[in-house]
């Protein structure tokens, strides 16, 4: 994932709120690739219920990033993702941040919690990491 010119703040590094956009993009892009589905068209939508971020190192435009993703909890109507953002160096990766991202699935019409769609559950199960 590339950083963008607009990601930098006045201090010359990527602004803290932008990390949440990286998390959101990584999770949803992965879901679309892993399921082969346009997740926006499912009868249940994953809405963000909680996020957190721990900043470890600084990133700045024009850095290139890699985002690691795993599932730490696969519930009935929610999925908790653990993420890590790495800055690409010439021959290594440098940890920049870690975070958590929780999707709760809701009916697209009523917005009431519903079970995770099977296509999503199947894909997410492949990323479950047992502690």
- pTM score > 0.95 for this model? no
Q: In the prediction, which pLDDT does 131 show?
A: 66
Tell me the mean pLDDT per 10 residues along the chain, length 131.
Answer: 94 93 96 94 94 96 96 97 97 97 95 96 94 66
Q: In the prediction, which pLDDT does 70 show?
A: 97
Q: How far is CA 49 from CA 41, 46, 77, in A?
A: 20, 9, 11
CATH code that applies to domain 5-125: 3.10.129.10
* DSSP secondary structure of 10-71: TTSSB-HHHHHHHHHHHHHHHHHHHHTS-GGGSSEEEEEEEEEEEE-S---TT-BEEEEEEE
For the chain, domain boundaries: 5-125
């Amino acid at each position: 994932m590339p950083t963008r010119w607009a990601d930098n703040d006045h201090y010359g590094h990527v602004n803290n709120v932008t990390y949440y956009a990286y998390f959101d993009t990584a999770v949803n892009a992965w879901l679309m690739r892993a399921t082969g589905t346009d997740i926006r068209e499912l009868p249940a939508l994953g809405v963000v219920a909680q996020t957190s971020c721990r900043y470890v190192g600084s990133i700045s435009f024009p850095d290139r990033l890699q985002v690691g993703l795993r599932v730490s909890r696969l519930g009935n109507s929610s999925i908790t993702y653990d993420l890590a953002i790495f800055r690409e160096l010439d021959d290594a990766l440098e940890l920049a941040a870690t975070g958590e991202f929780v999707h709760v699935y809701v009916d697209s019409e009523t917005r009431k919690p519903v079970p995770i769609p099977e296509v999503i559950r199947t894909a997410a199960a492949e990323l479950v990491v047992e502690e």
